[in-house]
Amino acid sequence: MKLYQVDAFTSSLFAGNPAAVVPLERWLDDGLLQNIALENNLSETAFLVPDEQGYSLRWFTPQVEVDLCGHATLAAAWVVFNALGFPGERVRFSTASGPLFVTRSGQTLSLDFPSRPAHVLADTAPFHQALDLPIREVLQARDTLIIVDSADQVRNFQPDFTAIAALDTFAVMISAPGEDCDFVSRFFAPAKGVPEDPVTGSAHCTLVPYWAEKLGKTHLHARQLSARGGELHCQLKGDRVTLSGTARCYLQGDLQL
């Protein structure tokens, strides 16, 4: 059984967001899939099985299965196009979030994801207490979106992972206008086994509609300010978001199961 580790949303090794990708002939027991993800100890492991329209795709953190993951989808697409001999330039993934499509143009991979707009959250006190930040807005989709004034506030934020894990939300993302890009962000999901995610494609399903409205534009350049960092070129298309980036394969090997 092959395993690939791919750095997503970067053109350089040791940057972007690493994801493990495990192609399967058929689905294994869910407990085994979860144990593989735990053993890999990356923020996400993607498992894919061929189906009539392309591939079925699932994502696991070290602790739970999730319904959407951008960087692991990009990594899975890299494996499909470069290691599995997929003949076309557009692959369909059947997922818990519906059909997802990834298109290849040269080295660039473009993900077509559902938009997840956020609504303003009324009770913001727990987030003020947990984050110790000068918060401008708090909004909620699957994840909680915290808006602050500057990229420096995002960059210099020191998270209290215990306090964040205690919040009643899947994850917390902090965002601000960019300095040499449209917006910046960071993403934290310690309760799900991901203290800080280096580059988070799924978060941009909420970030892009927010910043598209605020900035009055549908094409956006985003940067995630984690230690590894990553770049995304984004477009809002109605109720869909296109996320484009590149990827590099760091390793491939065999699982001894």
Instruction: Calculate mean pLDDT across residues 208-236.
Output: 97
Whether 163 and 181 map to the same domain: the answer is yes
Whether 193 and 108 map to the same domain: the answer is no
Number of domains in the chain: 2
Residue 104 has phi, psi (to 5 degrees) of: -105, 130
Q: Tell me the CATH number at 21.
A: 3.10.310.10
Whether 53 and 145 map to the same domain: the answer is no
Whether 107 and 21 map to the same domain: the answer is yes
Instruction: Calculate mean pLDDT across residues 152-160.
Output: 98
pLDDT of residue 86: 95
Q: Please indicate whether residue 25 is annotated as part of the active site.
A: no
What pTM does this model have?
0.92
Whether 155 and 184 map to the same domain: the answer is yes
Segments forming the whole domain that contains residue 76: 2-114+243-254
Instruction: Calculate mean pLDDT across residues 156-165.
Output: 98
Q: Residues 246, 102: contact at Cβ < 8 Å? A: no
Please give the Cα distance from 146 to 140 (Å, whole number).
9
Whether 93 and 167 map to the same domain: the answer is no
Helix count and strand count (H, E) for the chain:
6, 18
pLDDT of residue 13: 95
Instruction: Calculate mean pLDDT across residues 8-13.
Output: 95
Whether 87 and 159 map to the same domain: the answer is no
The active-site residue, picked from 44, 52, 179, 196, is: 44
Instruction: Calculate mean pLDDT across residues 9-27.
Output: 97
